[in-house]
Amino acid sequence: MPYRYDPGELGTQEVEIAITHCGICHSDLHLISNDWGISQYPFIPGHEIVGTVAAIGDGVRSFAVGQRVGLGWQSNSCGECEWCTRGMEHLCPAAEATCVHRNGGYADSVRANARFVVPVPDALDSEHAAPLLCAGITVYSPMRDHGINPSSRVGIVGVGGLGHIAIQFARVFGAEVTAFSTSAAKEEEARALGAHNFVNTRESKAMKEVAGTQDFILSTINADQDWGVYMQTLRPTGTLCFVGIPPSPVSIHAFPLISGLRSVTGSPTGSPHRLREMLDVAARHGVKAQTECFPMSKANEAIEKVKKNKVRYRAVLAN
Ligand SMILES: [Zn+2]
Ligand SMILES: [Zn+2]
């Protein structure tokens, strides 16, 4: 049976979106099984949302009913703290996630503060744009923060939901792009997405050959690896950045950090400003998620397929 709820009166700063598409993100799977201990049931997952504005609160001036919009991981923030006023709302201590203690996007409609709703450029079709709202911004934002440019050598670890978009954006930034994957079968696809080089990480010889070649390595995978080997893959001043979460603590020696001024960091989603910018860049440069579409009523089947790692590369639910 579908779950029904009464959303109450629309807040003055809120937008109600009639959902047409919602991507399935791995965070949804973690929330469904309460892996992070923050889920509340009944639970509606979903934070890669595209739809049309169905209603706006009295105080909303930035959107009109009928306009096509997107909504990602974040739905609200305090609007007043240091991070909000610096345009880094995703770092606000009072940030509200779209589907944590709120009803998310595997639904007919969803509500959010208007500051977190973004217009979707005409050039992007809704199915391929939906995964950009979380997977896209997650890989785009750190590349912007770390100044990726045509002189950069960027490694993308994992050719999956996040990685296949990351390869495209790294290429748009003009970088030399190297895809790292445990699966030799991904090479052709990685190159078609824009990777100049491909490294099969199961071959220690191949990993040794790329030692000292990368300026920025973005790890999109949720698996444990020998991170020391990746540190050796960095050039001096290089950065290893995590956007996927390996199950075990990341263990690395301090020596390569010290000797080569290297660093290790991570990155969460991005600000609303960045989200708009990312969609604009995707529209102008043809970046899009490769998707498999399921009717919303088949959400459970789609989730099972994602869990079995059988979707290339992002599942999207459509109403
Ligand atoms: Zn997500
Ligand atoms: Zn704030």
Predicted confidence (pLDDT) per residue in 117-159, tens digit: 999 999 999 999 999 999 999 999 999 999 999 999 999 999 9
| CA angle at 192 for the pair 25 and 48, rounded to the nearest 5° | 20
Give me the tens of pLDDT residue by residue for the chain, a chain 319 residues long.
Answer: 788 999 999 999 999 999 999 999 999 999 999 998 999 899 999 999 999 999 999 999 999 999 999 999 999 999 999 999 999 999 999 999 999 999 999 999 999 999 999 999 999 999 999 999 999 999 999 999 999 999 999 999 999 999 999 999 999 999 999 999 999 999 999 999 999 999 999 999 999 999 999 999 999 999 999 999 999 999 999 999 999 999 999 999 999 999 999 999 999 999 999 999 999 999 999 999 999 999 999 999 999 999 998 999 999 999 9
CA distances from 49 to 91, 193, 251, 268, 278 (A): 21, 24, 36, 18, 15
Distance 182 CA to ligand 2 centre (A): 40
Q: Evaluate whether 105 touches 46 at the Cβ level (below 8 Å).
A: yes
Distance 6 CA to ligand 2 centre (A): 28
Query: Closest-lying ligand to the alpha carbon of 95?
Result: 2
Q: Evaluate whether 239 touches 216 at the Cβ level (below 8 Å).
A: yes
Q: Give dist(CA 189, CA 171) in Å, integer.
A: 14
Query: Closest-lying ligand to the alpha carbon of 82?
Result: 2
H/E run at residue 21: strand 14-23
Q: Give dist(CA 287, CA 107) in Å, integer.
A: 26
Q: Which residues surround ligand 2, an ion (CB under 5 A)?
A: 77-78, 81, 84, 92
Distance 61 CA to ligand 2 centre (A): 21
pLDDT of residue 30: 92
Distance 209 CA to ligand 1 centre (A): 34
Query: Closest-lying ligand to the alpha carbon of 84?
Result: 2
Task: Compute the chain's Rg from CA coordinates.
Answer: 20
